[in-house]
Structure 1
Amino acid sequence: MAKTPSSTPSTVETASEQPTVGKGRPTPTRREKEEARKRPLVSNDRAEARRKARADAQLQRDKARIGMANGDERYLPIRDRGPQKRYVRDYVDARFSFGEILIPLMFVVIILTFLPDPNVQAIGLIALWAFFIVAAADAVLLGFQVTRKLKAKFGEDRVEKVRWYAAMRALQLRMMRLPKPQVRRGAYPE
């Protein structure tokens, strides 16, 4: 006599109401795990994978470029990070610097060198050297001003050496500075 399980409604209900013990599924075998981990080192469609990688890299570069231009601290290079550097950038961007005119003046002098008159060429070069001296003096003065302002705002012991940073930013054309200027001219930081 073979035993037949009795399928009464009461036994089926009790079996479904019992909580499952353990994880509720069988443990996968080693072969199944290895098969699940297998993936090709190189995609089957290499051209599509390359296009996707380039698109992803371009998206990341665009995001970083926009973040850096807007002055987002996450995307700034280390030399531009921190509240003191932000203060220096804002201070330099708020004032007019003679160094901003330096690059356009160099183009004018280059054009003057093409003229056949040596007197015009000499006057252009002398004017350029004189302007170099004025721009350098302005950069030195800016370095002292910025250091004094930083000491007043952040304290004597928290001041970094930022004179060179301020001078290099002041010698660039305003529209070519990175990060982009965040303040208008005359709106000095407090």
Structure 2
Amino acid sequence: MAKTPPDADSASEEPAGPGKNRPTPTRAEQEAARKRPLVADTAEARKRARAELNAQREKARVGMAAGEERYLPVRDKGPQRRFVRDFVDAGWHLGELVMPLMILVIVFSLVPNQAVTFYAFLALWVCIFFVIGDMIITSARVKRAARTRFGEDRVEKGLGWYAAMRTVQMRFMRLPKPQVRRGEHPA
């Protein structure tokens, strides 16, 4: 038998057929290779997710403004709360005038005459007392109307306070938006 030269022997050590031709990876290397993010972390995926979230938020905002039951927060859900909103939105309330009156008082307080400032603040306090009276009267009227409509034992707690707080908000700032016109009292 003839011996093969050393350089021919080194060429024959590399298998020419199928095989891995590399060392076996360690366990840490295998685990690192398997790790992938749960969510694709690409700019395109983030933009798509942000666009979907913005679309959902816009849909919820429009639904809440329209008074759709599924988009309302818990404090505004239910037929009794809808009745109270409609009851309050159908009337005129002094509480809607508080914010504009406060702005006027600020403007009048800039006038150097002390008498003008005094009477502006006095008018504001008189208006606030009338607003509190209107809140109390509206609360009592709402409770009485709810008892008549839904029954004495089925009236939810807090309807009077809910109505009173809604009277203080200016009509265009109320959420959910008013669903009735002024004068269209619920039956």
Query: What TM bracket, shorter-length normalisation?
Result: 0.7 to 0.9
**TM-score, normalised by the number of residues in structure 1:** 0.77
1:82 Cα deviation after fit: 0.4
Provide closer, same or farther for how the CA distance between residues 88 and 39 of structure 1 changes in structure 2, counting only shifts above 3 A.
same
* Correspondence for 2:164: 167
1:41 Cα deviation after fit: 2.3
Work out which of the residue numbers 51, 61, 76 in structure 1 matches 2:47: 51
Q: Which 4+ stretches in 1 moved above 4 angstroms?
A: none
1:39 Cα deviation after fit: 6.2
CA distance in 1, matches of 2:97, 2:37: 57
CA distance in 2, matches of 1:116, 1:50: 57
CA distance in 2, matches of 1:112, 1:92: 31
Cα offsets for 1:95-135 (capped at 9, x unmatched): 00000111111110111111111111111100000000000
What stretches of structure 2 of length at least 5 have no aligned partner?
1-34
Work out which of the residue numbers 91, 104, 110 in structure 1 matches 2:106: 110
Structure 2 residue identity aligned to 1:65:
R
* In the alignment, structure 1 residue 80 sits paired with structure 2 residue 79: no
Provide closer, same or farther for how the CA distance between residues 41 and 155 of structure 1 changes in structure 2, counting only shifts above 3 A.
same
* In the alignment, structure 1 residue 182 sits paired with structure 2 residue 185: no
Structure 1 residue identity aligned to 2:73:
P
* Correspondence for 1:65: 61
* Correspondence for 2:7: none
CA distance in 2, matches of 1:154, 1:69: 25
**TM-score, normalised by the number of residues in structure 2:** 0.79
CA distance in 2, matches of 1:129, 1:155: 38
1:40 Cα deviation after fit: 4.0
- How much is the aligned-residue C-alpha RMSD, in angstroms? 1.5
* Correspondence for 1:155: 151
Structure 1 residue identity aligned to 2:176:
P
Cα offsets for 1:31-65 (capped at 9, x unmatched): xxxxxxx96424252x2222111111111110000
CA distance in 2, matches of 1:68, 1:91: 18
Q: Partner of 1:183: helix, strand, or coil?
A: coil
* Correspondence for 1:136: 132
Q: Partner of 2:166: helix, strand, or coil?
A: helix
CA distance in 2, matches of 1:95, 1:43: 54
Aligned length: 153
Identity of aligned residues (%): 53
